[in-house]
Amino acid sequence: MTTMTIAGATLDVDAEGYLQKPEQWNEAVAEELAAKEGITLTDRHWLVIRFMRQRYLETGDAPTIRSLGKESGVDIKALYQLFPKGPAKLAAKLGGIPKPHGCI
């Protein structure tokens, strides 16, 4: 396992930079990861990130892009505007959860 220093903390990450221990996450980590992706987090970003985290922590799986669009309060088109490199993948990374199954 690899480690990375983010927001002043040493975190366990995989080869793609996804946190391996969701309990190491906090909002400062999300802000710094977002900045590295060229994203300034807005209230809509936080809505999606928090939805992703909550679903993962409740079920052990991240939601699919379809359920993310239906249940998060942000439609799929807007998700791609907020997270242009792939909404499920990037929201999971910023939310401190593992990369969703099925994401390349």
Whether 33 is catalytic: no
**Secondary structure class of 76 (helix, strand, coil):** helix
pLDDT(92) > 90 = yes
* Extents of the domains making up the chain: 2-94
pLDDT(103) > 80 = no
Q: Are 92 and 62 in contact (CB under 8 A)?
A: yes
Q: Give percent of the chain above pLDDT 70.
A: 95
Tens-place pLDDT, residues 12-28: 999 989 999 999 999 99
Which one-letter amino acid corresponds to residue 82? Answer: L
Tens-place pLDDT, residues 34-59: 999 999 999 999 999 999 999 999 99
Give CB contacts under 8 A, 24+ apart, made by 49-53. 49/91, 49/94, 49/95, 50/95, 52/88, 52/91, 52/92, 52/95, 52/97, 53/22, 53/25, 53/95, 53/96, 53/97
Listed in order, strand segments (DSSP E) in 28-94 are: none
Which residue of the set 9, 76, 78, 103 is catalytic? 103
Confidence of residue 101 (pLDDT cuts 50, 70, 90): low
- CATH: 1.10.10.370, 1.10.3720.10, 3.20.20.70, 3.40.720.10. Which one for 2-94? 1.10.10.370
Q: Give the span between the Cα atoms of 27 and 102, in whole angstroms.
A: 26
Answer yes or no: pTM beyond 0.85: yes
